[in-house]
Amino acid sequence: MKLSDMGRRMINNILIIAFVCILISVLYYRSMKFLPFLFGVLLGSSLSILKVFLLEHTVNKALTMEKSKAGGYAGIQHIFRFFLTGFVLYLGAVVPRISLWGVAAGVFAFQLAAYKINLPRKLIIKKDT
């Protein structure tokens, strides 16, 4: 599957955010106690990267559909991504070797990456007006 430029930038930003979170946890714990947080961040950021691929696939497929079917398809895919997020957060809450905070950091990396990609465009638009 070919990934768009925006998708690649989103994945790069997710990886950078995950690395920063892991680095902060290493500096905070300064021992092997950071491992559950590391596993959580890896799980959450893996889900965020998967969501980028799923979202790209959904948009590409919905563009080829009729308007009436595309809305339903996009809605079902959104619910699917939502349940995937809930499942991963549930794993972080139940499995003792995985930190829920790490999973949350990895999951929120998707939203932070999307915000970071859209921020420069919003600043440029405001400058021109």
DSSP labels, the chain: -PPPHHHHHHHHHHHHHHHHHHHHHHHHH-SGGGHHHHHHHHHHHHHHHHHHHHHHHHHHHHHHS-HHHHHHHHHHHHHHHHHHHHHHHHHHHH-TTS-HHHHHHHHHHHHHHHHHHHHHHHHHHHHH-
Close Cβ partners of 93 (under 8 Å, ≥ 6 residues apart): 100
Domain boundaries in the chain? Answer: 5-128
What pLDDT is attached to residue 13?
93
Q: How confident is the model at residue 125 (pLDDT cuts 50, 70, 90)?
A: low
pLDDT digits (tens, 9 = 90+) for 18-56: 999 999 999 998 889 889 999 999 999 999 999 999 999
Close Cβ partners of 128 (under 8 Å, ≥ 6 residues apart): none
Average pLDDT on 88-108 reads 94
Burial class (CB in 10 A: 0-12, 13-18, 19+), 52: buried
pLDDT digits (tens, 9 = 90+) for 49-91: 999 999 999 988 888 888 888 888 989 999 999 999 999 999 9
pLDDT at 124 > cutoff 80: no
pLDDT at 93 > cutoff 70: yes
Residues 70, 76, 79, CA angle at the centre, nearest 5°? 140
What pLDDT is attached to residue 120?
66
Look up the pTM and report it: 0.85
